[in-house]
């Protein structure tokens, strides 16, 4: 098969893990290629996500690399063999690849944790709220580009519904609740939606109020996507140039600590729900 021209973030992550495992063993790409009866070019394509790898080949490499982490190996096997067409593939060629990568990451997540300071988290947004956010882009999006973005954002909520019910923790700063992306009626609907979400047993919603002392984390927004083992976690952060996915081990350690530090400043779940009720009573 020809190499993939645009591997997904999940495919690139599998390749990166193969490369890390090889480098930790002190083996060269040429040695690994010889073990599989292939060439260094194809080995490079596997390690960049541009070529797939079978379970049999992956297990042979793991044995050759003396990888004794059974849980990590099974997680990598699942990544290598579990690729199926997801609902997000319907938007390929319609939305930027980062939209699809995020939906795929969320679909496979063991848990999700998010810190949001400016906007209500995407998985908790009403369609009207999402439309208001996307409508503010410059240049303005035409309807044929705006509506697919709104629809895609709403469909991402499937990971919180049905039989899946992925554990989800959202830490939201009060500023995200106070900024009126449209009018007060829309925000009232959004607050009520957050209350409904917070009543779900698998969703934990915690709010950092303006009155919290010592909060210097205005730039700490992030999405922590849990893997089947901690080594396969991913953190997604928005930048001025788009979304970025972080999975370097040292950065994951730092960002987990940062998440815990921010979360410690939030109200507990019950107090956060009361806070939301207070917002609706102000209306």
Q: Where are the domains of the chain?
A: 9-81, 87-282
- Tell me: the pLDDT tens digits for 36-69? 999 999 999 999 999 999 999 999 999 999 999 9
What's the confidence (pLDDT) of residue 243? 74
| Span 259-269, average pLDDT | 97
- Tell me: the pLDDT tens digits for 144-198? 999 999 999 999 999 999 888 999 999 999 999 999 999 999 999 999 999 999 9
What's the confidence (pLDDT) of residue 17? 96
Q: Could you tell me the two tokens for 33?
A: 């290629």
- Estimate the crossing angle of helix 127-135 against helix 184-198, to 10 degrees: 130
Does the pLDDT at position 240 exceed 70?
A: no
87-282 in CATH: which number? Answer: 3.30.870
Does the pLDDT at position 5 exceed 90?
A: no
- Tell me: the pLDDT tens digits for 117-147? 999 999 999 999 999 999 999 899 999 999 9
Does the pLDDT at position 108 exceed 80?
A: yes
> In the predicted model, what is the mean pLDDT of the chain?
94
* Cβ atoms within 10 Å, residue 208: 24
What's the confidence (pLDDT) of residue 163? 86
Host H or E run for residue 206: strand 203-208
What's the confidence (pLDDT) of residue 112? 98
Q: How far is CA 171 from CA 229, 236, 261, in A?
A: 23, 15, 11
Among residues 145, 123, 218, 131, the alpha carbon closest in space to that of 183 is found at 131
Does the pLDDT at position 3 exceed 90?
A: no
- Tell me: the pLDDT tens digits for 209-219? 999 999 999 99
Does the pLDDT at position 255 exceed 80?
A: yes
DSSP 36-102: HTS-HHHHHHHHTTSS---HHHHHHHHHHTT---HHHHHHHHHHHH-----GGGGGBTTB-HHHHHH
Domain at 9-81, CATH class = mainly alpha
Could you tell me the pLDDT band of residue 242, with boundaries at 50, 70 and 90?
Answer: low
* Cβ atoms within 10 Å, residue 54: 12
Contact 148, 96 (CB under 8 A): no
What's the confidence (pLDDT) of residue 2? 74
Return the SS3 of 214: coil
Could you tell me the pLDDT band of residue 241, with boundaries at 50, 70 and 90?
Answer: low
Q: Could you tell me the two tokens for 140?
A: 């303005």
| Span 242-266, average pLDDT | 94
Could you tell me the pLDDT band of residue 239, with boundaries at 50, 70 and 90?
Answer: low
């Amino acid at each position: 098969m020809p190499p993939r021209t645009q591997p997904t973030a999940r495919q690139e992550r599998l390749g990166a893990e193969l490369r890390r495992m090889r480098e930790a063993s002190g083996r060269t790409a040429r040695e690994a290629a010889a073990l599989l009866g292939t060439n260094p070019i194809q080995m490079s394509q596997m390690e960049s996500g541009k070529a797939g790898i079978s379970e049999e080949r992956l297990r042979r490499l793991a044995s050759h690399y003396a990888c004794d982490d059974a849980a990590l190996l099974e997680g990598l096997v699942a990544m290598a063999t579990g690729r199926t067409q997801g609902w997000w593939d319907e938007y390929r060629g319609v939305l930027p690849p980062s939209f699809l990568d995020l939906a795929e990451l969320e679909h496979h997540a063991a848990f999700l944790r998010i810190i949001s300071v400016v906007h209500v988290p995407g998985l908790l947004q009403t369609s009207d709220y999402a439309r208001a956010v996307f409508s503010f882009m410059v240049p303005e999006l035409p309807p044929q580009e705006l509506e697919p973005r709104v629809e895609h954002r709403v469909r991402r909520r499937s990971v919180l519904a049905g039989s899946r019910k992925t554990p989800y923790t959202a830490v939201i700063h009060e500023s995200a609740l106070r900024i009126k992306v449209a009018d007060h009626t829309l925000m009232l609907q959004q607050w009520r939606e957050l209350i409904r979400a917070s009543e779900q047993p698998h969703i934990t919603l915690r709010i950092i109020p303006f009155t919290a002392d010592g909060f210097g984390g205005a730039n700490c927004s992030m999405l922590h996507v849990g893997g089947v083992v901690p080594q396969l976690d991913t953190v997604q952060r928005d930048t001025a140039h788009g979304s970025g996915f972080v999975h370097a081990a040292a950065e994951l350690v730092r960002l987990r600590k940062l998440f815990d530090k921010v979360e410690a400043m939030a109200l507990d779940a019950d107090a956060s729900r009361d806070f939301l009720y207070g917002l609706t009573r102000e209306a």
